[in-house]
Structure 1
Amino acid sequence: MELTPIELERYSRQMQLPGFGEKGQKQLKASTALVTGVGGLGGTVALYLAVAGIGKLILVRGGELRRDDLNRQILMTDDWVGKPRVFKAKETLSKINPDVEIEAVYDYVTPENVDELVQQADIALDCAFDFAERDLLNAACVRWGRPMVEAAMSGMDAYLTTIIPGETPCLSCIFPEKPDWDRWGFGVLGAVSGTLACLSALEAIKVLTGLGQPLTGELLTMELNSATFAKRRPYHDPNCPVCGHFHQQNLTATITRNQVAKTVYV
């Protein structure tokens, strides 16, 4: 996929990055990213993917804009209160970068739409506000072999990881028991959701282009009151109800290889 003269100019600074270059830019242009929960976190994720030159964004979010969203949802404007936020997100992003194709889905992630959404994308970014949507997206990404950037925050705390089906723990491995989650039950600063969103967008860019080292198999935890960051190795459950079949397939393949080797060398 070739870059236009305008795109070569627009992305010239990031194409100077070692390991990225024009090849990485073309890979981004050829990619589709699914962003769920387009709010303070997902909206900022979408913004940084758009300005980086992703080829297509699929934005998924039901519900209307509330005035108390405006301290963190940087794609929104005050005159849009009471209207579907996903359409405003599309409008704002299209003005910022008209070269990006944007599909706005005015809905939440549901059992009925999740497979179709995931199959259209090269990567999913999970920014939904509850675990019901997150679990649906995780299972569909495992089912269809799509990488997923998993990001969430509560107050001044946040976490981030990149899930590669068959290689890393999935969300069900990391959170087999779902924590209580009240979408209105914690305070939030826009700078906190923005910090996490920038790191999430960077993870997606790294996965899609091969730039750097993504957080595969690692959980980055952030305590932003004290700017404390830590990397942890989450447990990869071989009996996970969502991704455990990969372990069984690998175990079967190993047994088969060993049996073949015995047959050859005995």
Structure 2
Amino acid sequence: MMNLTPTELERYRRQIMLPGFGEAAQQRLKASTVLVTGVGGLGGTAALYLAVAGVGKLILVRGGELRLDDMNRQVLMTHDWVGKPRVFQAMDTLRAINPDVEIEALCEYITPENVDRLVKSADVALDCAHNFDERNLLNAACVRWGKPMVEAAMNDMEAYLTTIVPGETPCLSCIFPEKPVWDRRGFGVLGAVSGTLACLTALEAIKLIAGIGQPLRSQLLTMDLSRLEFTKHRPYHDPNCPVCGQKAAPQASVVSSLSPVLQLVPG
């Protein structure tokens, strides 16, 4: 367990005061590494709340440059960064907010070539990518290496959220066996919607790592934020899933030995 410095004890004092949290949960956060894909209105805002909560290391992965039409929702960005790689601005902003958190920024997308290396280096992955190609790659790698993944996505005023634990819950392929065509600039987006989902996404990761509360295991939370309607569903766990089925993913049966974070979370 990693000791907390006097500065960290004071910085996180208000959350350490929470019933069932304490210094032990804060130490678990400090010892953890979280992979965040996307780093836009959803991933960037989730990374912000993980940084201020005291996660030890964040790995930010997102290719491409910042666009002016990103600025209505990307709270880590500044206007003078338009046209530049967004992931580096995100890193600089997070370091300025909390210098105690280690930040690694990679200006690339999730690919078959890098996904295993990235997933293996993290305790938890946040799936905030802008297309299902990257999401499928991340989901499969998390299943292969027994790493929990917080899955979050939005479209217009609707959103969904779930926590995927290999060997225990349905994976993304179980939940969405047929992937929709997703045009990342083909729908409108309100910053407060992505921010709302991002806060819940960060909270799921914090609960997993700290061992508090009840993460959305085997539950899919859907949100209609135009009406503020929230519904929980029980998605089907397909035993013949090509990604997480018994024949497809033998590692899933030993997930607890592969993921230190899961050993900290009560069943």
* Equivalent residue number for residue 168 of structure 1: 169
Please state whether the residue corresponding to 1:245 is helix, strand or coil.
coil
1:196 is paired with a residue whose SS is helix
Q: Computing the radius of gyration over CA atoms, which structure comes out larger, 1 or 2?
A: 1
After TM superposition, give the deviation of residue 247 of structure 1 in Å. Answer: 9.2
Match of 2:74 in 1: 73
2:232 maps to what in 1? 231
CA distance in 1, matches of 2:175, 2:147: 18
What is the match of residue 261 of structure 1?
none
1:33 pairs with 2:41 = no
3-state SS of 2:246 partner: helix
Partner deviation per Cα, 1:211-231 (whole Å, 9 max, x = no partner): 100000000000000000000
TM-score normalised to structure 2 length: 0.92
Number of aligned positions between the proteins: 251
Tell me the equivalent position of 2:47. Answer: 46
Q: Distance in 2 between matches of 1:210 and 1:134?
A: 25
Structure 1 stretches of 5 or more lacking a match? 253-266
The match for 1:196 is 197
In structure 1, what residue type is equivalent to 2:219? E
Report the counterpart of residue 117 of structure 2 in structure 1: 116
Shift of 1:246: 6.9
Structure 1 residue 180 displacement after superposition: 1.6
Question: Is contact 1:238–1:247 with CA below 8 Å preserved after alignment?
Answer: no
Q: Unaligned regions of 5+ residues in structure 2, if any?
A: 254-267
Q: Do the aligned residues in 1 keep the contact of 2:242 with 2:248 (CA within 8 Å)?
A: no
Cα deviations by residue, 1:10-55 (Å, 9 ceiling, x for unpaired): 0000001111110000000000000000000000000000000000
Name the counterpart of 2:141: 140
Q: Partner letter of residue 89 of structure 1?
A: A
Q: How does 1:84-103 map to 2 (within 5 A)?
A: 84-103=85-104
SS of corresponding position for 1:220: strand
**8 Å CA contact 1:166, 1:246 repeated in 2:** no
The whole-number CA distance in structure 1 between the counterparts of 2:238 and 2:154 is: 24
Aligned amino acid, residue 167 of structure 1: E
Which SS does the other structure have where 1:185 is aligned?
coil
**Structure 2 equivalent of residue 10 of structure 1:** 11
Task: Quote the residue 1:60 is aligned against.
Answer: 61
Q: Assess, with a 3 A threshold, how the Cα gap between structure 1 residues 203 and 76 changes in structure 2: closer, same or farther.
A: same
* 2: CA distance, partners of 1:213 / 1:246: 29
- Is the CA contact (8 Å cut-off) linking 2:109 and 2:134 kept in structure 1? yes
Per the alignment, residue 256 of structure 1 pairs with none
1:23 is the counterpart of 2:24? yes
Q: Distance in 2 between matches of 1:52 and 1:7?
A: 10
